[in-house]
Amino acid sequence: MLTADSITRSEALATAVPVRAPRVVLAVDPSEEELARDFSLSESDKREVRRCRGDDHRRRFALQLCVLRQTGRFLDSYRQVPIRILTHLSRQLDLSPVLLVSETERSATEMTTRNASASISGGRYSTSAPKSS
């Protein structure tokens, strides 16, 4: 039986569970046009990326910046990044090519990366699922 009490409890439960944004899915084999459009860094982007310590950190920062601009969300795993994207970014940053980027060992480092990426991109990002139109 539906009562006012049960409705109130179910509404409270629904608001307590956050809606997770869908995972960012990158193209497995992006075209040259997609790479140029979605993963090109400006000179000011490169200056910011080069402030990071270590090549992997630079790649992670550049990836988060590009993905954030493209999707409005953060990349939650670096394991899914295709080699073509890594090579494209590495080439722009004068870094040697790699097959993969390691996950960050410290969550504080990842939070710093995300905050800096958000500030460079103008802070336009979403932590919830996009609204359907």
Structural domain harbouring 82: 43-128
41, with CB counted inside 10 A (0-12, 13-18, 19+), is middle
Cα–Cα dist 11/3, whole Å: 12
Residue 52 counted as domain residue: yes
pLDDT confidence bin for 74, thresholds 50/70/90:
confident
Q: Is 94 inside a domain boundary? A: yes
- Helix or strand run (H / E) with residue 89: helix 83-92
Q: How many domains does the chain have?
A: 1
- 124 found inside a domain: yes
**Is residue 10 one of the residues assigned to a domain?**
no
Q: What is the pTM of this model?
A: 0.68
Q: Is residue 117 part of a domain?
A: yes
Read off the pLDDT of residues 24-64 as tens digits, 9 standing for 90 and up. 888 889 999 999 999 999 999 999 999 988 999 999 999 99
**Banded pLDDT at 130 (limits 50, 70, 90):** very low
Confidence of residue 72 (pLDDT cuts 50, 70, 90): confident
Work out the angle at residue 40's Cα, subtended by the Cα atoms of residues 38 and 43, and round it to the nearest 5 degrees.
145
Window from 6-10, 31-35, 64-68, 73-77 with minimum mean pLDDT: 6-10
Q: How many CB atoms lie within 10 A of CB 29?
A: 9
Query: Is 93 part of any domain?
Result: yes
- Whether 35 is in a domain gets the answer no
Whether 30 is in a domain gets the answer: no
